[in-house]
Structure 1
Amino acid sequence: MAEAGSFAEKVKQQADIVRVVGEYVRLKKTGKDFSGLCPFHQEKTPSFTVSPLKQIFYCFGCGKGGDVYNFVMDMEKCEFLEAVKLVAEKCGIPIPRPKERSPEERKENQQRAVLVEMHREAQTFFVKQLQGTLEGKAARAYLEDRGLDKDAVTRFGIGYAPSGGDELLRHLKSKYNEKLLVESGLISREQQGGRLFDRFRRRITFPISNESGKIVAFGCRALGDDQPKYLNSPETPIYSKSNVLYHLDRAKEGIRRQDFAILVEGYMDAIAVARAGISNVVASCGTSLAEQQIKLLARFTRRVVVNYDPDAAGQSATERSLSLLLEQDFEVRVLALPPVGDKKADPDLFIREKSADEYLKLLKEAPSYVDYLISRARQMDLSTGEAKSRAVNFLLPYVQKIPNRILRSEWATRIAQQLRVDEPVLRAALSKAAAERRGELKLQPELVGRAAKPVERRLIRMLAEAEGFRQDLAQRLQNAQLYHGLETEKIFAALVIASLSGQPVQAAEVAAVLQERDRRLLFEILFEEASEPTWEEALSCIEALQHRQAEQELAEVQRSIEASPTGPDLRDLLTRKQELMRRLAAAR
């Protein structure tokens, strides 16, 4: 961990933020800084600024700001360590090979590598079985009937597991021992007798890849009436269903580019949508979306269109997924496809029977999840007060998960109107849900810049930049508690701690510990035009804060005197008043 930290610091010191940002944004030199159109929000006039001196960026429009790692993490939707690697690669800095911590770890890594290779070989085997065998002919006919031509089959690596029961086993066992074969999930062992056999038999195979594109599992569909209809790989050292989204390795660039993902249930749905020219689609491979899958998706976007199957299981899965997505603050829409004739339509059927253009049109019109849920509630019996109560109770948990309080209130009102909820008790329940988000203690402060006094802004700038006297300044401010009670107190506190640490102050690291509006104010101050600071100016600013502190204390003393003109503390208050008045007079 320490090695990773020291390498990250080394990369940061050597990286040029202007060069890195310039790969994404067309920058123009403006004075000491560079400016351009912000990549994080739509704008016509540049409000995005990069400082080569401070090695930070800030957008005065949307408030995004930070160092080179923050920028790459936001642009690439990646974690910190991945951002360090990307910046190092962009700057031509060699990346050290990670040290394996123990023989056990080396053994585990070797085992994972072998299992990945085994899956690669299994994929080659399944593809050959589909394309080059007599038994594979029926599977080819089935795929053609589903609208998948040879190019599509090749593009998505679709194969066939033969019915024999031991053909893959015979293909692999000359290279791998029994323990590895079973651990791979490709081969199963009978509980009685211990005989080994192929897990997948007489099934269409769909390779499941991890984010980096390595095959780690298979999803398989029965060719005939065998049960279960769908059978996936079990959990293995290289595969955990909750950590993988089907097609993400191919979809992630499209998701980043379009800033939303389409979430479907199965492989055929994902393939159909992708073949329609819509690259940003992933499948949860079943009706249960896992929290880890959502966190994986969050690395690329926070906007999702859920398009699960329209049957009862799919509707239940949609509602479960909504709860999980909303808890992770996703912006969610729901696409509920209309029937095709007398058939309920999943994405695959809809695109085959209708068209890709019709699907794309409905995708663009997909309503907010709240509209979807209201339409679901309106399908319930609403003829009695008790029935309306059930409908409202169905909606309340989702109202509580809306992040913004104003939006919660608007949706609560809309629900009451659309469900014709007139009963005071039900309206009160909706109002309460609108007022109290589960897990929320208070409203977020408005994310707008605040006015900080010029003297505060100047001192903040000095603490961030005045290498020669930063520590002395921080010590004086801390000893006299001059920033206590100021609106900028938390900014001062963070900068004072950083200044007294004896290490160079990194503006982005200071900003990272601040609340959003303090963070934005700090960046705004750091990007202001300013002259070189001097110690004399610092002393003058300290005197100004002391003067303001004395004025505030004098006002408090005067209020105390007026509140209790005959109180026991009157003499002490009058003495303190005289001291403060003398101090203020001497400072004039």
Structure 2
Amino acid sequence: MANRIPETFIAEVRQKVNIVDVIGQYTDLVKRGRQWNGSCPFHDDRHPSLFVEENKQVFNCFSCGRSGSVFSFLMEKEGLSYPEAILSLAESVEMHVDSSISAGVTRQVDGTTQAIYQLHTAAQRLYQHILLNTTSGEQALAYLHDKRQLTDDIIKNFGIGFVPEDNALLSYAHDQNISREVLQASELFISNDQGELRDRFSDRIVWPIKTERGQVIGFSGRARNANNSIKYMNSPESPFFTKGKILYNFDRAKNQIRQTNTVMIFEGFMDVIAADMAENPIGVATMGTALTREHVKQLARVAQRILLVYDGDVAGQNAARRSIDLIHEYAQNVDIGVIHLPDNLDPDEVRIQLGLLALKQALEQNIQTPVEFLVNTARVGKNLSNQVQYLAFLQEVMQILKVASPVEQDIQLMRIANEFGTSKQALQAQLQQSIDQKASKSSYSQPTYSTLIEPPVSGSDYDSGLGQTNVNQNITQVEQAERALIMAMIKSPQVMLQVKETTGFAFVHSDYQLLMMLTNIYQAQHPGNFDLAQYMDFIQKPELNQKIMAIERAYGELAIEKEAINDYLRMIMYDAPVDARIRQLQQLIDAAKQQHDDAKLLQLMTELINIKKKQSQL
């Protein structure tokens, strides 16, 4: 069945899908050096033992031994066949799947859900076509060009569209014979008292909302008519659309976020787009809700620094305070910054009124620490020339500073002393008094920045690269030679040819002999550079893939040298049979001793001495 899907198509899916993004939807992953680590979703994993190698696009659990590529992960987790996993991931990144490719592949996903996803994708394409290419979208397009200063390229890149009042999507759905059940479940339509359906986002400019993997699952619509009492409208909550788990633009931004280790969180979609236009393509936005624990965990998987870009009004400042607390609670290893924009403008207003350069500079230079931000917000609504309000301000500041670093304490106290003429010594004394008192817990708590996961112990199987302890604890020198040789054969067709032409060669262990045969076929079908994920997909045997991962970790980085290859061959072809005969002789000698057979014992001892003598002379 797998042969029905062209290798070029499979390669394109590999290139567009990141294994970290896929596995990250099933378990929280934390970056540790060049790898990602988390609890294995296949078993009760209290000590995170799953490792994902992003550069090789493979995963391996050191506890249960499961390993493979993004396809094999999805196959085992969702119960899909290899072709089904390929098609599922292809659709998640909106690749066109030709009927000739999908023919004969029975999908094991809910038919209604799949139809809903397809309808959302079709809706986005239809809405954008209407906006850019029809008279129905002319006024909306003029608004985006003139008022919002967006180019057609920006509109296309972000998938923005327009929904006319003529029920264009409903007509399309009827033409495609899509059932009423799917139409109602999709939440793209609303019905009147008579049960008649119409397009939910009628007469609105719409921004598509996508999952982390790029699947359209909803829209946010802005009324074109200024007199409309409902200015903004989002898709309602549904089994496939949960606002507390979705971040606008995360699908587009996640690769750049991962590269820079930084993400910016905005309040509005246009703020995200404005930042992108100002050369900061690392922005996401919540769906009109507060930041949630799920959002924080999602971002902490790909970023080590979170920058909050909220409006300067009271609501925006309160949202920033809540977000700081939330990030400290659920992502203690993440650094936080708060960006202050000029004149209390939001990012899109800065872009339009002051220009892209001003926005770019503000996003990159106006970054405050959480302590600095919180001290500044303590001023809001207070007349600090009034002694009572000034003392209230100081009391609030001391609650913030008592959990700040000594350097930040010194900076803020110096700033307050210089501004208000209060001696720094008096401020330090009040801070110390606040620290000594058993005060109630502040809304701001300083993180410990402790590591989320205990690092592997030096000398463990993780360091040695030999994989699962109970599988690889007692590996003989001969098997180590077999592993090193099969790794060299996998990576180099030239070594494969040398071994095949070696008269009388055979691996001692049957698994490596099977790998040799499969590798020979793989190299004939896949000429070119070795790809570990592709190779494991070709093998498609969990027990062999587990062994391949252990071998690759131990020997994957070793240089292929002719002398080493000859040494491996010698150990496998000569040392292995000799070692086996020595073990056999020792067993026979023990039996002869128990039977008091002196003649047999003398014969066996003589053979053992001669073998060991020959072995020492080599």
Q: What TM-score does the superposition give when structure 2 sets the normalisation length?
A: 0.53
**Equivalent residue, structure 2, for 1:163:** 165
Matches of 1:235 and 1:301, distance apart in 2: 27
* Deviation per residue, 1:308-354 (Å, 9 max, x gap): 22233322222222221222323111111102xxxx42112212333
What amino acid is the match of 1:334? V
Q: Aligned to 1:310, what secondary structure does the other structure show?
A: coil
Q: More deviation in 372-381 or 431-440?
A: 431-440
Cα-to-partner distance string for 1:361-390 (whole Å, 9 max, x where unaligned): 333321212112222223433345642454
Secondary structure (helix, strand or coil) at the match of 1:219 reads strand
Compute the displacement of 1:426 (Å). Answer: 6.2
Residue equivalent to 1:429: 434
The residue correspondences of 1:4-153 to structure 2 (distance < 5 A) are: 69-70=50-51, 72=53, 88-89=68-69, 96=75, 98=77, 100=79, 109-145=110-146, 146-153=148-155
SS at match of 1:116: helix
Taking the TM superposition and a 5 Å limit, the aligned residue runs for 1:429-508 are: 429-430=434-435, 467=474
Q: Which amino acid aligns with 1:429?
A: S
2:348 aligned residue: 348
- Mapped to 2, the partners of 1:431 and 1:253 lie a distance apart of 46
Query: CA 1:217–1:349 in 2, change beyond 3 Å: closer, same or farther?
Result: same
Name 2:537's counterpart in structure 1.
none
Partner of 2:328: 326
Confirm whether residue 305 of structure 1 aligns to residue 307 of structure 2.
yes
The letter for the 1-side match of 2:172 is H
Which stretch shifts more, 241-250 or 328-337?
328-337
Of 346-355 and 267-276, more deviation after overlay is shown by 346-355
1:523-534 to structure 2, matched below 5 A, reads: none
How far does the alpha carbon of each residue in 1:87-119 deviate from its partner, in whole angstroms, 9 at most, with x for none? 7239x9797454559xxxx99733221111110
Structure 1 counterpart of 2:190, from 171, 188, 192: 188
Distance 1:347 1:87, change over 3 A: farther
Q: How many residues align?
A: 382
List runs of 5+ in structure 1 lacking aligned partners. 1-19, 21-38, 42-47, 51-55, 57-65, 453-462, 470-503, 508-588
Instruction: Name the CA distance, whole Å, in 1 between partners of 2:339 and 2:122.
Output: 38
Quote the residue 2:607 is aligned against.
none
Where 1:148 maps in the other structure, the secondary structure is coil
Contact map agreement 1:173 1:181 (CA 8 A) in 2 = no
Q: 1:78, 1:114 → 2: CA distance?
A: 31
User: 1:285 and 1:94 mapped to 2: Cα distance?
Assistant: 30
Residue type at the aligned position of 1:120 = T
Q: Does 1:267 align with 2:269?
A: yes
Tell me the TM-score normalised to structure 1 length: 0.55
Query: Structure 1, residues 20-68: CA drift from partner, whole Å, max 9, x if none?
Result: 9xxxxxxxxxxxxxxxxxx978xxxxxx9x9xxxxx9xxxxxxxxx999
Structure 1 residue 360 and structure 2 residue 374: aligned?
no
Aligned to 2:599: none
- The whole-number CA distance in structure 2 between the counterparts of 1:411 and 1:78 is 43
In structure 2, how many angstroms separate the alpha carbons of the residues matched to 1:201 and 1:345? Answer: 30
**3-state secondary structure, aligned to 1:160:** strand
CA distance 1:398–1:299, shift in 2 (3 Å): farther
Question: Which amino acid is the alignment partner of residue 163 of structure 1?
Answer: E
Amino acid at match of 1:199: R
1:220 corresponds to: 221
**Aligned match of 2:251:** 249
Q: Deviations over 1:468-495 (max 9, x none)?
A: 99xxxxxxxxxxxxxxxxxxxxxxxxxx
2-side partners of 1:250 and 1:434: how far apart?
Answer: 45
User: What corresponds to 1:525 in structure 2?
Assistant: none
Partner SS for 2:237: coil
CA offsets, 1:431-486, max 9 Å, x none? Answer: 669998989999979x9x9xx9xxxxxxxxxx9998499xxxxxxxxxxxxxxxxx
Q: Take 1:162 and 1:180, find their aligned partners in 2: how far apart are those partners? A: 21
Matched, 1:206 2:186: no
CA distance in 2 between partners of 1:68 and 1:157 (Å):
39
More relative contact order in 1 or in 2 (CA 8 Å, sep 6+)?
2
CA shift for structure 1 position 202: 1.3
1:77–1:256 CA contact under 8 A, matched in 2: no
- Following the alignment from structure 1 to structure 2, what is the Cα–Cα distance between the partners of residues 435 and 414? 24
Is the 8 Å Cα contact of residues 123 and 207 (structure 1) preserved in structure 2? yes
1-structure distance, mates of 2:151, 2:65: 40
Query: Structure 1: how far apart are the matches of 2:439 and 2:163?
Result: 53
Note closer, same or farther for the CA distance 1:277–1:195 as it changes in structure 2 (3 Å cut): same
What is the letter of the counterpart of residue 68 of structure 2? Answer: A
Given the superposition, is the C-alpha separation of residues 386 and 263 from structure 1 closer, same or farther in structure 2, using an over 3 Å criterion?
A: same
C-alpha contact 1:77 1:298 (8 A) present in aligned 2: no
Q: How does 1:530-545 map to 2 (within 5 A)?
A: none
CA contact 1:350–1:359 (8 Å) conserved in 2: yes
* Structure 1 CA distance for aligned equivalents of residues 290 and 336 of structure 2: 17
Residue in 2 aligned with 1:335?
339
2:356 alignment partner AA = A
Say if 2:187 and 2:236, in contact at 8 Å, map to a contact too: yes
Q: For residues 362 and 144 of structure 2, what CA distance do their matches in structure 1 show?
A: 26
How far off its partner does 1:210 sit? 0.6
Output the CA distance in 2 between the equivalents of 1:87 and 1:434.
Answer: 51
Which structure 2 residue ranges, 5 or more long, are not aligned?
1-18, 20-30, 38-46, 81-106, 459-468, 477-546, 551-618
Equivalent residue for 2:572? none
CA distance in structure 2 between the aligned counterparts of 1:382 and 1:440, rounded to whole angstroms = 26
The farther-off stretch of 284-293 and 250-259 is 284-293
Helix, strand or coil at the partner of 1:227:
coil
Amino acid corresponding to residue 53 of structure 2 in structure 1: V
Which residue identity does 2:305 align to in structure 1?
Answer: R
SS at match of 1:378: coil
Q: Measure the CA separation in 1 of the matches of 2:72 and 2:360.
A: 43
RMSD: 4.7
Structure 2: distance between partners of 1:79 and 1:214: 24
- CA distance in structure 2 between the partners assigned to 1:183 and 1:297 by the alignment: 29
Distance in 1 (CA, whole Å) between partners of 2:256 and 2:211 is 17
Distance apart, 1:270 and its partner CA: 0.9
Equivalent of 1:258 in 260, 264, 267: 260
**Which residue of the partner structure matches residue 281 of structure 1?**
283
SS of the equivalent of 1:88 reads strand
